[in-house]
């Protein structure tokens, strides 16, 4: 069992605060993603965990031991960066063997003189370890190649292999897929997730790509401005974001945000849509209604709670067509997901009517915090209007 904890981590560069009190307990064997926009402090946090950066305040604990003063090499964490940094003059096998050789070196302080028989035996052991790791990564047929003779994905796997041979307590990965082209990146997402399932080792993975975080993680920590805003499973973060920043960050296309009002009776109104029974003690006035594109559907004119708008753009993705519709007197634009059949028959400039799917809506208060809706919040407008 490996337990890793970051507690009350603070870090500034000069006068600029970068991390403001991060608390994070990483569960043994989980795939945890640190995700957030560029500059929010993800890499700095990972580097603090790896020991490449010292926190100003707070502690890093691995298996109950505070490791703030333990050198990176002695934390037994393997780091994989965006740039694979393979030695170009060494073969894949030699690259993968390097950490094992370095470990021998660091144990002995210098490479011990092993008699030729022992040295050959040690070499055989290391080769077996490299071979086994290469088989897991499906690069065993590439062991004699130099990095320059590999594709981007193969190079990425070789770098992973180099990190894996030491059998670290956890893998720390900083945007390891961002140098790959789009198709390979998507392919490698599932490979990494599979690898994680087979290794059962803790992965701490940094990305600014919310799709990577949603598709691979057991839990994701959404970071902004040096803080963790929300930590939870991808399903929880997507379906139950705690505030408007998290709701906007996850999901592509983005969640639609429309202005609305909350009245004394606890009803939220936005154009023709009405939601009832806000359970929070929010004062009446303006609120923001959040509707994901897949939770809106085209409907007949005059349908209850429908909104009307004009199609300004169509994005055909094959399986889905996203309609961009200008609404509320053309002051706002929303995106709704239509089936290919529905989407094809709609033309740009056409007036369309749509409504939210029952049970799907989020309401955010003036400070951006999520307001609770009672289970009855989706009852028909006839009952509340």
Ligand X SMILES: Nc1ncnc2c1ncn2[C@@H]1O[C@H](COP(=O)(O)OP(=O)(O)OP(=O)(O)O)[C@@H](O)[C@H]1O
Instruction: Decide whether 48 or 361 has the Cβ nearer to Mg ion.
Output: 48
Which of 38, 281, 283, 301: binder of ligand X (CB under 6 A)? Answer: 38
* Both tokens assigned to 285: 């006035």
Under the criterion CB under 6 A, does residue 24 sit at the interface with ligand X?
A: no
Q: Rank residues 42 and 267 by Cβ distance to ligand X and give the closer one.
A: 42
Asked if residue 155 binds ligand X (CB under 6 A), the reply is: no
Q: Which is nearer to ligand X, 14 or 88 (CB)?
A: 14
Residue (of 253, 351, 268) closest to 302 by Cα position: 351
| C-alpha closest to that of 271 among 309, 235, 243, 323 | 309
Q: Does the footprint of Mg ion cover residue 43 (CB under 5 A)? A: yes
User: By C-beta, is 9 or 377 nearer to ligand X?
Assistant: 9
Q: In what order do the strands lie in the sheet with 31-35?
A: 77-80, 170-174, 202-207, 31-35, 219-224, 227-232
Is residue 44 within the footprint of ligand X (CB under 6 A)? yes
Burial (CB < 10 A; 0-12, 13-18, 19+), residue 270, is buried
The H-or-E segment that residue 48 falls in is: helix 42-50
> Binding residue for ligand X (CB under 6 A) from 22, 24, 32, 40?
40
Instruction: Identify what 51 binds: ligand X, Mg ion, none; CB under 5 to 8 Å per kind.
Output: none
Token pair for residue 302?
């005059």
The sheet with strand 4-13 has its strands ordered as: 16-26, 4-13, 57-62, 65-66
Q: Which stretch binds Mg ion (CB under 5 A): 39-47, 227-235, 268-276, 296-304?
A: 39-47
Residues 6+ away with beta carbon under 8 Å from 112:
104
Binding mask 189-208 for ligand X (x = CB under 6 A): -------------------x
Distance of CA 33 to the CA centre of its chain: 5
Q: Is residue 33 near ligand X by the rule CB under 6 A?
A: no
Q: Is 133 in the site for Mg ion (CB under 5 A)?
A: no
User: Between residues 18 and 291, which has the closer beta carbon with respect to ligand X?
Assistant: 18
| Residue 40 Cβ vs ligand X, minimum distance, rounded to whole Å | 4
Local structure of residue 304 (DSSP, 8 states): T
Among 18, 126, 158, 352, binds ligand X (CB under 6 A): 18
Cβ atoms of 158 and 188 within 8 Å: the answer is no
Contact pattern for ligand X over residues 207 through 226, marking x by CB under 6 A: -x------------------
DSSP state of 145: S
**In this structure, what token pair is assigned to residue 194?**
């599979």
Residue 14 or 349: which CB sits closer to ligand X? 14
Other Cβ atoms within 10 Å of 350 Cβ, number: 12
Q: How many chain residues interact with Mg ion (CB under 5 A)?
A: 1
Indicate the residue among 249 and 354 with the shorter CB distance to ligand X: 249
Contact by Cβ (8 Å): 24, 228: yes
Residues at the contact surface with Mg ion, assessed by CB under 5 A = 43
Residues at the contact surface with ligand X, assessed by CB under 6 A = 13, 18, 36, 38-44, 208
């Amino acid at each position: 069992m490996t337990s890793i904890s970051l507690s009350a981590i603070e870090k500034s560069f000069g006068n600029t605060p970068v991390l403001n009190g991060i608390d994070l307990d990483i569960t043994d064997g989980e795939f945890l993603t640190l995700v957030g926009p560029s500059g929010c402090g993800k890499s700095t946090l990972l580097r603090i965990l790896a020991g490449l950066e010292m926190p100003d305040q707070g502690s890093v604990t691995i298996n109950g031991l505070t490791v703030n003063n333990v050198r990176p090499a002695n934390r037994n964490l393997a780091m994989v960066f965006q740039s694979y940094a393979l030695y170009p003059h060494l073969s894949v096998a030699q690259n993968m063997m390097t950490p094992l050789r370095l470990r021998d070196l660091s144990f002995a302080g210098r490479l011990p003189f092993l008699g030729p028989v022992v040295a050959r035996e040690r070499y055989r052991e290391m080769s077996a370890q490299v071979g086994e790791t290469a088989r897991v990564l499906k690069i065993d047929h590439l062991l004699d190649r130099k990095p320059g003779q590999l594709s981007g994905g193969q190079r990425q796997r070789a770098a992973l292999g180099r990190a894996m041979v030491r059998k670290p307590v956890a893998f720390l990965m900083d945007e390891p897929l961002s140098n790959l082209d789009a198709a390979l990146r998507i392919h490698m997402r599932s490979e990494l997730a599979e690898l994680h399932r087979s290794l059962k080792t803790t992965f701490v993975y940094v990305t600014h790509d919310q799709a990577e975080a949603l598709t691979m993680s057991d839990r994701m920590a959404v970071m902004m401005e040096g803080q963790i805003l929300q930590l939870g499973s991808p399903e929880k973060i997507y379906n139950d974001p705690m505030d408007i920043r998290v709701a906007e960050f996850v999901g592509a296309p983005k969640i639609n945000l429309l202005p609305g009002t909350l009245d004394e009776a606890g009803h939220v109104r936005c154009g023709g849509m009405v939601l009832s029974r806000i359970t929070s003690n929010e004062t009446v006035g303006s609120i923001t209604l959040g509707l994901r594109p897949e939770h809106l559907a085209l409907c007949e004119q005059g349908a209850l709670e429908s909104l009307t708008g004009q199609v300004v753009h169509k994005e055909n993705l094959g399986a889905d067509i996203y309609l961009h519709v200008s609404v509320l007197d053309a002051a706002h634009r929303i995106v709704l997901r239509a089936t290919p059949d529905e989407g094809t028959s709609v033309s740009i400039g056409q007036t369309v009517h749509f409504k939210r799917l029952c049970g799907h809506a989020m309401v955010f208060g003036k400070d951006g915090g999520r307001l609770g809706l009672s289970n009855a919040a989706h009852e028909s407008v006839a009952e509340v209007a």
